[in-house]
Structure 1
Amino acid sequence: MSKMSIEIVSDVMCPWCIIGYKNLEKALQQLPDIEADISWHAFELNPQMPPEGQDLVEHVIEKYGSTKEQSVENRKMIAQRGLDSGFQFNFSDDSKIINSFNCHRLLTWAKEHGKQTELKLALFSAHFTEGKQLNDDAQLLAVAVSIGLDEARARQILDSDEYAAEVRAEQNRMHQMGIQSVPTFIINKKYGISGGQPSEAFIDALTQINAEAQGASAQA
């Protein structure tokens, strides 16, 4: 059994981040000789987003210069890619992009309790599948509690600036490493895979990386 470190730089607001993760998950299921240690790094796609968020279609039109029709077609394509990966997107006219900073603060805390991946996946489902408003503390707390995190402690964090400095430092470190887009998968602190790749691409990359690691180990 080979151990592999996989650090995922992502934002809960990014649909390609959950697509990429689900395809990575599929790849690892087909690579039983690789044991992956997965962790997540904070990255805000829209750090200047106001607390109330912004209508999804309006945001896409403003940020990418798309037309409303192009935005609709893009959502259909993403929804299909989601289904292919095993994730359900339920976009609607009420879908919003929100400021994800508090999500990242809770994720940093959850890592201390071994629940970072569990919370990350719950947040993706809450936002994209269930249409929860994660800029609402009550709804964000409900997600944290649903995976067994302590409600009183989570509320205490949200009511303070705890973990804010850690999140900002982590984001700065990602930028200093040259990461400008998500998802980015950092393998064994050496190799990078960008984007919501299909499972086949992950299988090929991880197999090659593992072979190189095994070869280097044999020569040592």
Structure 2
Amino acid sequence: MAFSVLRIPFFLEPGYDESKPFIETNRERLIHKWGGKRGWEAQKQRHDLKGRGLEAGIPHFNLDRLAANTMASHRLIQHIGKTYGLAVSEAIYDLLNQYYFVDGHSLNDKPRLAKVVAARMQELMPTEAPTQTKLLDFLNGDEGREQIMHALHALNQLGIQSIPKFIIEGRTVVDGAARSDTFVEIFREIEARGVVQGTAIFNDVLGVSDEIVEKGSHLPPTSMAA
């Protein structure tokens, strides 16, 4: 089964100064958010992020990663998806997860972001990849900001105030903290019926063409054993 994933921008800290490469470490952010170390420790026990990361093959989350305004990285992911396709933007999204959550780099360090993403895109599409300079020019500009703001407004209209969330077939909302069997059950139901009922609800808001969505972000293997 092939399907498309649109990554909808969301700001954990919308008040962060966009002009600064980073504001604080994530450890500091979470201690502030949960009212001190005791509250933070209680929240860690409830979420069990470390344990769930181990289940997913992520041995380490960098608690001292540099937290920053994420407008630039949201704009970049959307730009890559619209320009080069959702399969490419998903590969870059995976890269940025490693870059931030594990390596601890800021998502608003624009020179570093441009360098790392340009190198990965050169591996993915050697003849079409944008240069580091071109990506940095984009990050230093304003293209895509309006669409990001429209998407944030749409999320507010839907009453979505926290992440992660998945909106499947434009109607079924699943909390991202749900276990994998929840998602498997939903996708097996779609597979069994053989047709998608509903449509993407954010592609128009984000300016992603129907053609890009229809090409998919996750495709079945091109060859299978007999």
Into which bin does the TM-score normalised by the smaller protein fall?
Answer: 0.7 to 0.9
Partner residue, 1:103: 73
Query: C-alpha displacement at 1:152, in angstroms?
Result: 2.5
Work out the number of aligned pairs and report it: 182
Correspondence list, 1:1-12, <5 A:
none
From the two aligned structures, give the one with the greater strand fraction. Answer: 1
Letter of the 2:51 counterpart: Q
Query: C-alpha displacement at 1:207, in angstroms?
Result: 2.4
For the residue of structure 2 that corresponds to 1:192, the secondary structure is strand
Query: Is the contact made by 1:41 and 1:170 (CA closer than 8 Å) also made in structure 2?
Result: yes
Query: C-alpha displacement at 1:66, in angstroms?
Result: 4.2
Partner residue, 1:81: 52
Letter of the 2:120 counterpart: I
> d(CA) in 2 for partners of 1:88 and 1:81?
10
After superposition, the CA RMSD in angstroms is 2.6
Distance 1:103 1:215, change over 3 A: closer
Query: C-alpha displacement at 1:70, in angstroms?
Result: 3.9
Partner residue, 1:23: none
Q: Of 98, 103, 117, which aligns to 2:90?
A: 117
Q: In terms of mean alpha carbon deviation, does 74-83 or 187-196 score higher?
A: 74-83
Instruction: Report the TM-score, using the length of structure 1 for normalisation.
Output: 0.72
Partner residue, 2:201: none
> d(CA) in 2 for partners of 1:66 and 1:211?
48
Partner residue, 1:134: 107
For the residue of structure 2 that corresponds to 1:205, the secondary structure is helix
Distance 1:73 1:170, change over 3 A: closer
Partner residue, 1:175: 156
Query: Is the contact made by 1:53 and 1:135 (CA closer than 8 Å) also made in structure 2?
Result: no
For the residue of structure 1 that corresponds to 2:186, the secondary structure is helix
Per-residue deviation, residues 18-59 of structure 1 (Å, max 9, x unmatched): xxxxxxxxxxxxxxxx32222211111111123322222221
Q: In terms of mean alpha carbon deviation, does 204-213 or 97-106 score higher?
A: 204-213
Partner residue, 1:53: 23
Q: Which has the higher contact order (CA 8 A, sep 6+)?
A: 1
Q: Of 30, 36, 56, which aligns to 2:3?
A: 36
Q: Of 165, 172, 197, which aligns to 1:191?
A: 172
Partner residue, 1:143: 116
> d(CA) in 2 for partners of 1:80 and 1:58?
21
Percent identity over the alignment?
23
Q: Which runs of 5+ in 1 are unaligned?
A: 1-33
